[in-house]
Structure 1
Amino acid sequence: MTAGDSSGRLDDDYPACTTGRAADMLGTTQVFLRAIAGARLITPLRSEGGHHRYSRYQFRIAARAREPVDQGIPIEAACRITVLKDQLEEARRIDAEHRRTAEVPSPTAAV
């Protein structure tokens, strides 16, 4: 998929910024963005000219990965931490949903 395939959508998934612009906006380096892409934390799309493009959603992920890197944690570990935090958040959301469902009395239980 290329950036041109997004049908002009301006949403969180629209690949709007080049690597240089994304790095500037995040206050990081292009090397950092390439490293987290290499670790498969994010997968930037490519423009028709072959340049990497990053979305707002990818900015948020990169910013979250940057926090542990700024604390001295290696990039690979920071990427893994970011993924694990997302998985934990999703598990908690699912658990909360199951708990809400379990708290609702079934119509036949009242008989």
Structure 2
Amino acid sequence: MPQEARPRAADRLDDDDYPAFTMGRAAEMIGATPAFLRSLGEARLIEPLRSEGGHRRYSRYQLRIAARARELVDGGTPIEAACRIIILEDQLEEALKLNEALRRETGDDGGPAGA
């Protein structure tokens, strides 16, 4: 019987959503403490995957979000406000992508209406 093709672990390292990093390594990579990462989880900004042993694992995408939160907090923004800012930035980016896709679909170049 042919064996099902299983992705190699090394192939997953290029996946932004693959939870490859332990809490300690993730904190080190963004120059923060594990407590800071836990606080982002408590604020529901990022929700790390749990290993079979219950340990938090972070993806590259989550680390980019955490690094942005750290920038804001280091600049004096309260963590709750930093989380809200990041959520709004993410929503804006998605809206801009959707808007661009709709423009391409309809052939609208984004110029003034009726010109």
Q: 1:7 to 1:46 in 2, by over 3 A?
A: farther
1:50-81: per-residue Cα shift (whole Å, max 9, x none)? Answer: 11111111111111111211111111110110
1:90 matched residue in structure 2: 94
Question: How much has 1:47 moved relative to structure 2?
Answer: 1.3
Correspondence 1:30 to 2:29: no
Map 1:1-111; keep pairs closer than 5 Å. Answer: 8=9, 9-10=12-13, 11-103=15-107
**RMSD across aligned positions (CA):** 1.8
Gaps of 5+ in 2: 1-6, 109-115
Distance 1:15 1:84 in 2: 24
Single out whichever of 57-66 and 92-101 deviates more from structure 2.
92-101
Gaps of 5+ in 1: 1-5, 105-111
Instruction: Give the structure with the larger helix fraction.
Output: 1
What TM-score does the superposition give when structure 1 sets the normalisation length?
Answer: 0.80
Matched residues, number: 99
